[in-house]
Structure 1
Amino acid sequence: MDITDEVVSEAAAQAARDVWVVLSRLRRRLAALDGAGDLSPAQASVLARLDKHGPASASELAVAEQVRPQSMAKIVIALEEAGLVARHPDPADGRRQVVTLTGLGGERRLGDLRARQAWLARAMQERGTPEQLRAVITAMELLDEVAHT
């Protein structure tokens, strides 16, 4: 089995390995789509984080994205120059700046998300049967439950 020290069934161990491999491949495939246009994966990730979690300082973004503060500063500057984010003084600490998603940044993020979801829906419809699609829905319910434990 070799998953953990805990006893798990062979089916659960195989499912865990398969989910890990497939999600990794799928993440790379979705990241490679043209939906992000001229954005780097790091820039697209920052837009996604700001969209999901709201405003943050560049240092908070660096920690969350696991990059050096200097790298995040360059990412934020590029996004700001493209009009996708804006920096404002932090109301709680005027020495800090908070990065926020602009209207254009939100539109760009939403368009990118919709393009990737549309690609995935078309690809699954072309390759899967209705029964397989229902099985995916059921599997996603289980994975979502696992993610919230």
Structure 2
Amino acid sequence: MGESDLAARAAGDVWVVFSRLRRRVRAVSGEGDLTPAQASVLARLDKEGPASASDLAVLERVRPQSMAKIVLALEQGGLVARHPDPEDGRRQLVTLTDLGRERRLGDRRAREEWLGRTLGERCTDEQLRAVIEVMALLDDVAHA
């Protein structure tokens, strides 16, 4: 197997495992009542702070009409709020509410606890060190 074949196989394996892991973690997190798009918007607002719905649409690669529906559903659930943009009163900024932030924090804790417990049950210390090392390599790739 040549270098390009190895890289292609590694890429395929990483893709499959991350996809499976994402589905499994979603099931654990309690995000089941949120669509993937809603969960993604909450994560983005939590990580990057307030944004307009049009900016979110661009960042999430969805139509503005679709983002309007996503934001409305999150707002109705009390997870986000809209406020006038202090720099441009015509625009509204979408912000995470305290409930939205608590939801994100609780979901993240649940995911991390499940993953930590599962890794601890299934892996030796040597395997756990290998996971840490591989994650560092993949993080380097993500920042390339």
TM-score scaled by structure 2? 0.90
User: What is the distance in 1 between the residues matched to 2:5 and 2:37?
Assistant: 37
User: What is the distance in 2 between the residues matched to 1:100 and 1:34?
Assistant: 22
1:144 aligns with 2:129: no
Q: CA deviation at 1:12?
A: 3.4
Alignment size in residue pairs: 144
Q: Which of 41, 44, 49 is equivalent to 2:39? A: 44
Partner residue, 2:110 = 115
1:18 aligns with 2:13: yes
User: What is the distance in 2 between the residues matched to 1:132 and 1:111?
Assistant: 28
User: What is the distance in 1 between the residues matched to 2:94 and 2:113?
Assistant: 29
User: What is the distance in 2 between the residues matched to 1:38 and 1:18?
Assistant: 29
User: What is the distance in 1 between the residues matched to 2:6 and 2:51?
Assistant: 42
Partner residue, 2:59 = 64
Extract unaligned runs of 5+ from structure 2: none
1:127 aligns with 2:122: yes
User: What is the distance in 2 between the residues matched to 1:88 and 1:114?
Assistant: 29
User: What is the distance in 2 between the residues matched to 1:34 and 1:55?
Assistant: 23
1:53 aligns with 2:48: yes
1:32 aligns with 2:9: no
- RMSD of the alignment, in Å? 1.8
TM-score scaled by structure 1? 0.87
Extract unaligned runs of 5+ from structure 1: 2-6
Q: CA deviation at 1:40?
A: 2.1
- Equivalent AA in structure 2 for residue 146 of structure 1: V
Q: Which of 78, 97, 104 is equivalent to 2:73? A: 78
- Equivalent AA in structure 2 for residue 26 of structure 1: L
**Cα distance per residue 1:58-99 (max 9 Å; x no partner):** 111112112221121111111112211110111222111100
Structure with bigger helix share is 2
> Which secondary structure does the structure 2 equivalent of 1:146 belong to?
helix
Distance 1:137 1:39, change over 3 A: same
> Which secondary structure does the structure 2 equivalent of 1:67 belong to?
coil
User: What is the distance in 1 between the residues matched to 2:30 and 2:123?
Assistant: 23
User: What is the distance in 1 between the residues matched to 2:53 and 2:88?
Assistant: 14
